[in-house]
């Protein structure tokens, strides 16, 4: 009789562990899907931002046809849109965006056109959406990584080969922190 009780307890323990294992594994999958979705959002906003930049540059090019450096950077931006190069693409877009706004300073007539002003507003709006998508992605990655490293979930992660995911980082963040005012 005691042997039967011991076998019953072992079976119940195995069942509870199996249910827990499946629950943790499914949680990894759910959060992983959220991460993938926010990664896709980043890519969508990068493409939208690229399109706005291209439209802006078409308008600006009419005013500044000799500014080939700014325009040639835009051609480079669209090459290789995969997640491994998202940070590089973001840096190129940021540089082109700064070049676009610098053109307005060099060409006051360009700055005064309604189309250019609308494109500036649209570009600023796309930059906000893009920043929000990056924050959302990093938030989901943080949530995922916490689940991966916390005990006892880390046991399931190791058994299923789940690893921490990389955060989306701004390669030029350090440059942006250093602000100098030259008067």
Instruction: Identify which of 36-40, 59-63, 85-89, 90-94 has the greatest average pLDDT.
Output: 36-40
For the entire predicted model, the pTM comes to 0.60
Query: CA-CA distances (angstroms) from residue 51 to 57, 60, 108, 112?
Result: 10, 14, 23, 21
Averaged pLDDT, 2-31: 92
Q: Are 93 and 50 in contact (CB under 8 A)?
A: yes
Kindly report, residue by residue over 96-153, the tens digit of the pLDDT: 666 666 666 665 555 556 666 777 788 788 888 888 888 898 898 999 999 899 998 8
Q: Which runs of consecutive H residues, i.e. helices, occur in the chain?
A: 2-63, 68-77, 86-106, 108-112, 114-149, 153-160, 173-177
Match 């992983």 to its residue by tokens: 32
Question: For residue 183, what pLDDT is reported?
Answer: 35
* Alpha carbons 117 and 104: distance in angstroms, whole number: 10
Banded pLDDT at 15 (limits 50, 70, 90): very high
Pairwise pLDDT comparison (77 vs 13), residue with the higher score = 13
| Residue 176: per-residue pLDDT | 45
- pLDDT per position as a tens digit, 27-82: 999 998 999 888 888 888 888 878 777 777 776 666 555 455 555 555 555 555 55
The encoded tokens of residue 35 equal 């991460």
pLDDT at position 21 is 92
Classify residue 24 by burial, with Cβ atoms within 10 Å: 0-12, 13-18, 19+. buried
């Amino acid at each position: 009789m005691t042997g039967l009780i011991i076998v019953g307890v072992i079976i119940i323990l195995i069942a509870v562990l199996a249910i827990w294992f499946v629950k943790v594994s499914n949680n990894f999958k759910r959060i992983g899907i959220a991460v993938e979705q926010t990664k896709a959002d980043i890519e969508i906003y990068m493409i939208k931002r690229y399109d706005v930049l291209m439209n802006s540059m078409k308008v600006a090019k009419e005013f500044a046809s000799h500014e080939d450096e700014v325009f040639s950077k835009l051609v480079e931006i669209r090459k290789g849109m995969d997640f491994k190069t998202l940070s590089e693409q973001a840096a190129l877009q940021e540089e082109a965006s700064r070049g676009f706004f610098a053109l307005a300073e060099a060409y006051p007539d360009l700055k005064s056109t309604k189309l250019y002003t609308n494109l500036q507003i649209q570009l600023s709006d796309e930059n906000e959406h893009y920043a929000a998508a990056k924050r959302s992605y990093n938030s989901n990655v943080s949530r995922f990584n916490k689940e991966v490293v916390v005990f006892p979930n880390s046991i399931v992660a190791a058994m299923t080969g789940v690893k921490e995911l990389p955060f989306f980082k701004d390669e030029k963040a350090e440059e942006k922190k250093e602000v100098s005012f030259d008067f």
